[in-house]
Structure 1
Amino acid sequence: MVVNGSRINFPDAQPFIDENGRTQVPVRFVSEALGADVGWDGKTKTVTIEQGRNKITLVVGKSEYTVNGKTMEMDTTVLLLEDRTFVPVRFVSEVLGANVEWNASIRTVYITTGGTVPTPSPEEGEIRYYDGIAFNPATDVDEFGRMTIEKSQEFLLKMADQLAFVKENGRYYIVGEYPEIPEEFEWAVGIGINLKSGGRRNFSTLTARKEYLIPNEGSFKKDTTGLIDINDIDSFGITISVLNKDINE
């Protein structure tokens, strides 16, 4: 984990990825690395995180939390393990205004502080945050049930930053980590590779061919060795979409 260019050492309790695919860190990291004040109520198992005018309240084992009194929900929870309290680093950092990036190829979280805390819009509808992106179903979905272009671009850009081609031990992989999106939507990704020899390889979340199939949720590492020759690649194109699960287009 790297904060503002400096690698963070964890002398005792170590970060880990929970069953929901979220990176959990000891709560003391929030105070020491992000400069926030952290409080703990052992009776109610409640964590409070304050920085400036902003206050976050979380309860161990619950997905609901509050930001400056506004109730929201995340897809994971605060955890209490061996008397250590762990919080989801992306959620807490982005609510505090930090920018969080995940490099899947080296499994490292990069955090840059100094941003602004997202403020819920007064528009009608319940606002929820997905990987730090505010989503309001009343304003971010069109009359056909599709996510608006403006809102989908936010998710697509985040996904594009978390998709890469990597080489490890002489093998070539497509690696990616999907950002969290609203439950009624799903990811669709297509990667077309044009070969100098005239052929084409299409990796997709929708293909029926297992050797070219990539997952459409969570994180993945697709081995392409034997399917393509890296020296034979002429060009490639990537298509990323957010689709409503109930709409077949």
Structure 2
Amino acid sequence: MAQRQESPGEEGEEQRLRAAVRHLQAEAGVLERLVYKHRNQHRSAAYFQYLLKVRRDLKLLLSANIVEVLNATFPVLASRKPPNTILVPSRQAKKKPGANHSHHKRLLGVARLLSQMAEPVMKGAVQITFLLARSFFVDLCAALLALLARVRVLIQQMLLDVVSIYNKVTDLTDRKQAVRISIDRVQAFREYYPSSNDPNTILECVWVKDKFVLNERTKASCQKAQDDIQKSCTPDLSIQYETLGLVSEGFLNSNAALVAYRDGKS
């Protein structure tokens, strides 16, 4: 299998994602401590319920073990491993999250979860601003607003990077692949063909109001839309045109004389 050098963009995405995961773990730890300390006093408040939702989403995101998915994905993008390795379900115990799911599907699940985490963060921040406007719990509100702002920036940037990586991996897995196997000085080539029964999903991020929204489309629908656009731009060949012969000068002179006679008579 041909080796290729990693592009600066892929190295930047890998570094950003790994750094974002570390920062997100730190912010989740701070949020866990704040929730534990103020649960008895603020458990019935609206903003505290949104904080619990944010904590739940962070726990679910970190339990997906993004680092393991990245360790399996970036070698494929760098052509150090064949793309079919991320399509095989991971061999884990049934109690562990991600068991019986491939790294490709886990990456899609991470993108979907990141797209749904923005709404609880924003609603929780709005509720906290109401308390801050009334000068209630100023120190706590300032700390929570800073934490939520940091979490929002991290999840939005991670969403963009995960969508970009997922589309690159999907494009690689949709191609025919050839793997060279060497055993005792004997080389053999094995080819893998993409399955046409399971259409691949293409992701895109669209900025709507104050956040990125995740849109999912299948390659079949994208290809159909392109075919419809090309069909609408091409002329309709079913229309039959009639070619008229050249008009002679005698015919034109006779028509001019007829018009002059009608004008003089009138």
- How high is the TM-score relative to the length of structure 2? 0.22
Answer with 1 or 2: which has the greater Rg.
Answer: 2
- Which structure is richer in relative contact order (CA contacts within 8 A, separation 6 or more)? 2
- How high is the TM-score relative to the length of structure 1? 0.23
Structure that is richer in helix per residue: 2
Structure that is richer in strand per residue: 1
